[in-house]
Structure 1
Amino acid sequence: MSTTSTAAPVTVLLDATDDVAVTRAALAAHHPYAGRVTVHPAPATHDQGLALDILTALGKPSGLPGHRGIHGSTAWNTAAAWILALSVTRLTVLRAHLLNAGALSRLLALRKHTGVHLVAVCHARRLPTPMGTALRHVEHHTVFSDAAGDLLAPAPRTRCATPRS
């Protein structure tokens, strides 16, 4: 997989009041075949679990019947391949304030390799320390939920709504 340096700056969306409207808007914007994916990670997600959550949000399997599934780098490489194959342009991750350093590192590497615009929704008043550390050398900006504007707007439905077989 080749790396690209054209990734948009990371957007950190601070939702200080954990407003249900922010979560609903992010989930409503989810439409993989229109280039927008929203991930709602499972509780206590570690880096491998986040990759599997991304595959689930993409509507792609993370394992085969009778097989133990994919793990580690394979899960992240598979997620990257599907993001590129589906031409995903925006990846929104809810509950990003709960991600550990390993998950954040893998998520930022995924952004770098795919060029996807990463929107990390932190349901917190300020940037969590692990995220601040992870973003130290990454171009990013912070917006607040009351000023998010079109950030979580649904994607225009101009592309094929479902894959053709």
Structure 2
Amino acid sequence: MAVGIGDVILVVDERDDVSHTRTALQAHCPAEGRITVQPTPASGAPATLAHDVLYALGKRLAPGPDSPDVWMDSLDTAWLAAAAWSATIGVRDAVVIRAHLLTARRLDQLLTWQDKAGLRLTLLWQASPRRIPLRLNRIERPADGLGHLTALLAEPASLPSHPHPHPHLYPPRSAPTAAAETDASVPDPDGQHPHPRSSRPPSTPRVRAHCPGATAAAQRVRPTAAFGVSPETAAALAVLAHPLLAGALTVLALTRSTAVGLRSVRDIDINGDISAVRTHGPGHRQCSLHTVPTWARPLLAGARTHHRLTGGHVEDSLFDPVMAAEARHLRAHAQRLLEQARASPERA
């Protein structure tokens, strides 16, 4: 059965056959664009299912009521992070086991996430079909549910060679030219921008660009080498759940930039293949272009995807939202990473 991206499949396993669950769990392989989500049973926390999706994506939350990940209690924030990482990693298939235990509200959350991330969602309904809610009645059901799950294992991976946000997330943008990047805050002659101004979050300031972004800058100067980051620190950054926090801390680790420099980093300061990032000094003096190592590219890609999911423009500050609303969480994560770096020798 041919199923395109963006579809939802309902697999009914009325007898709760262990082979269905086993095959669904075997399908989990984020590196090949497939994840299997195991919902936490009997949890009333609003964002629990979003946490379960993030866990399947390889992200981990710091435990405890005073942890820097307390922001994850926010339902919208958690699901936005899940959508951003799903698109960045390149997830094309997601299987949710024991979907019959989910409330109607959480089923709606899953469907919203599936639509925003542009993936194919398979719900494993391990109960009587008579209990299927109306919202799922119109979803296509494969005649051979086990055959559908097994087919997921046989499908070859078709992921990009470097992380890119999924094209389903937003309309394609034309690449800014060097002239346009020279002052990205000036509108085009017809007064138009790639996206309407009204879609920009009011809390995100537009940074006046007195120097070009990463792509244009790379045509004139060679990027400087990134600072060495220990494998332990890189691993800790890779599992941070908030894309903007992960991206901001990665830029700080690679460039040793100041808070002013981090706030000035724009969407266009990360080049197309995420191999370079540009940081800015006060008054755009001493701006620098830095290489981005392979391990860090998915983290900056996640930050940019998150930015665009919220309607951000290419000339907007990329990390300003976390430096304002989530500043204490940014500092808390930075302190944890600093302690880990002190505990292990830094390596290039």
TM-score of the two chains, using structure 2 as the length reference = 0.40
Counterpart Cα distance in 1 of 2:121 and 2:114: 6
User: Residues 16-72 of structure 1: CA distance to partner in whole angstroms, max 9, x if unpaired?
Assistant: 111111111111110011100001111125551110000001111235882225121
SS at match of 1:30: coil
- Segments of structure 1 that go 5 or more residues without pairing to the other structure are 1-5
* 15 and 61 in structure 1: CA distance in 2 versus 1, 3 angstrom threshold: same
**Greater CA deviation, 146-155 or 14-23?**
146-155
Counterpart Cα distance in 2 of 1:95 and 1:73: 23
Give the AA of the match of 2:111.
L
Deviation at 1:150, TM superposition (A): 3.8
* 63 and 13 in structure 1: CA distance in 2 versus 1, 3 angstrom threshold: same
- The equivalent of 1:134 in structure 2 is 135
- The equivalent of 1:113 in structure 2 is 116
Counterpart Cα distance in 2 of 1:134 and 1:91: 19
Note the 1:70-149 alignment, pairs <5 A.
Answer: 70=72, 71-126=74-129, 128-130=131-133, 133-135=134-136, 140-143=139-142, 144-148=144-148
Greater share of strand: 1
Counterpart Cα distance in 2 of 1:56 and 1:149: 21
Counterpart Cα distance in 2 of 1:94 and 1:88: 17
- The equivalent of 1:39 in structure 2 is 37
Deviation at 1:112, TM superposition (A): 1.0
Task: Provide the aligned C-alpha RMSD in A.
Answer: 2.6
- The equivalent of 2:67 in structure 1 is 66
Give the AA of the match of 1:101.
A
Counterpart Cα distance in 2 of 1:7 and 1:62: 29
Counterpart Cα distance in 2 of 1:50 and 1:59: 14
Deviation at 1:146, TM superposition (A): 4.8
Contact 1:12-1:121 within 8 A present in 2 as well:
yes
* 147 and 155 in structure 1: CA distance in 2 versus 1, 3 angstrom threshold: closer
Give the AA of the match of 2:135.
A
Deviation at 1:148, TM superposition (A): 3.0
Deviation at 1:158, TM superposition (A): 7.2
Report % sequence identity: 34
- The equivalent of 2:48 in structure 1 is 49
Give the AA of the match of 2:121.
L
Moved over 2 A (4+): 6-9, 44-47, 61-69, 127-130, 133-136, 143-160
Counterpart Cα distance in 2 of 1:146 and 1:29: 12
SS at match of 2:140: strand
- The equivalent of 2:273 in structure 1 is none
Counterpart Cα distance in 2 of 1:45 and 1:107: 16
Contact 1:45-1:99 within 8 A present in 2 as well:
no
* 146 and 107 in structure 1: CA distance in 2 versus 1, 3 angstrom threshold: closer
Deviation at 1:156, TM superposition (A): 3.6
- Segments of structure 2 that go 5 or more residues without pairing to the other structure are 162-237, 239-293, 296-348
Deviation at 1:124, TM superposition (A): 1.4
